[in-house]
Amino acid sequence: MTLPQIAQQLDKAAREAKPIPQFSTNTPFSLSDAYKIQLTSIQRRIERGEKITGFKLGFTSKAKMEQMGVSDLIWGILTDDMLIEDDGEVRFSKYIHPRVEPEVAFLVKKDITQPISYKEIPEYIESFAVAIEIIDSRYENFKFSLEDVVADNCSSIGYCIGEWHELEEQIHDLKLELIINSEVVQSGNTKAILENPYQSIVEISRLATETGLTIKEGYVVMAGAATAAEWMPKNSTIKASLEKFGGVGFEVEE
Ligand code: OOG
Ligand code: MG
């Protein structure tokens, strides 16, 4: 199977919400080919009229790496089709086997065209917010290799962002909880995200720009989950809450 064929099958699986077997067991491909497949599948979305809205990082916490049995930082691309309004609603039937995770998001205020250092962050980042990511692997049983998940745009399907807050010096030691139907189902700390969520900006600035992509003004960067992910139930209320900075959430309909 060619790389564009793999991209086409992943894109179709996402659109139809029908899982497919993982590829790497029968058609091994390299990590750099996996990122090419990812970009080709995003290209298909762009051809349908979607717009790129940012980047996401994955496996920035130990909890996530252990849950999924994968131990390398990965990144993917977000589009406007994936944005869920705060206090909004999603339809369960749009997904295959969705999971939710509590995250921190950043808003970019100046194009990032080269790797930036930790100290340069205030020059490029406007604000941060508590966020929820919905992930929905296109692979049967949510089972994949590192290459498979990268090709699948790191399981991206939805992101929901709370109120933006001015950049604070200290966001590396804050309680971050995931709440389903008023019950705290995951409780973590922002330091689980690469010791400090700001580090996700440093990482994506290197990873995206080395492939020639610009992290544009107005884009969002999702820093990665602070805890393991939880299954997203039908007819439920999903929330994330960040110590001192409030919450974000949405309803899940049939
Ligand atoms: C891959 C995506 C991981 C995160 O925040 O660590 C991720 C997956 O678990 O399916 O989004
Ligand atoms: Mg995530």
Sequential pLDDT tens for the chain (254 residues): 999 999 999 999 999 999 999 999 999 999 999 999 999 999 999 999 999 999 999 999 999 999 999 889 999 999 999 999 999 999 999 999 999 999 999 999 999 999 999 999 999 999 999 999 999 999 999 999 999 999 999 999 999 999 999 998 789 999 999 999 999 999 999 999 999 999 999 999 999 999 999 999 999 999 999 999 999 999 999 999 999 999 999 999 99
Q: Which of 44, 140, 50 shows the shortest CA–CA distance to 96?
A: 140
Token pair 């992910």 is at which residue? 229
Strands 83-84 and 156-161: parallel
Q: In this predicted structure, what is the pLDDT of residue 169?
A: 78
- Counting from 1 in the atom list of ligand 1, the atom nearest the Cα of 68 is 9
Nearest CA to ligand 1 atom 4: 58
The C-alpha angle with vertex 88 and arms to 101 and 245, in degrees rounded to 5, equals 55
Check if the beta carbon of residue 195 is closer than 8 Å to that of residue 119. no
d(CA 172, CA 174): 6
Backbone angles phi, psi at 220, to 5 degrees: -110, 145
Give residues with Cβ within 8 angstroms of 92, minimum separation 6: 98, 232, 234, 235, 252, 253, 254
Q: In this predicted structure, what is the pLDDT of residue 145?
A: 95
d(CA 183, CA 177): 10
Q: In this predicted structure, what is the pLDDT of residue 2?
A: 94
In the numeric block, which tokens belong to residue 220? 């969002």
Check if the beta carbon of residue 27 is closer than 8 Å to that of residue 5. no
1: enclosing H helix or E strand = none
Cα of 28 vs centre of ligand 2, distance in Å, is 25
Ligand 1, pocket-test mutation among 65, 154, 203, most atoms within 8 A of CB: 154
Nearest CA to ligand 1 atom 9: 68
Q: In this predicted structure, what is the pLDDT of residue 168?
A: 82
Q: Is 68 in the pocket of ligand 1 (CB under 6 A)?
A: yes
Token pair 């030691």 is at which residue? 173
Nearest ligand to residue 153 Cα: 1
Cα of 58 vs centre of ligand 2, distance in Å, is 5
The C-alpha angle with vertex 62 and arms to 65 and 242, in degrees rounded to 5, equals 115
Q: Which of 81, 89, 28 shows the shortest CA–CA distance to 236?
A: 89
pTM of the model: 0.97
Residue 104: beta bridge partners?
130
Cα of 132 vs centre of ligand 1, distance in Å, is 12
Mark 68-78 as b/e (b = at least 16 C-beta within 10 Å).
bebeebbbbbb
Token pair 């100046």 is at which residue? 110
Residue 143: beta bridge partners?
none
Residues belonging to the chain: 254
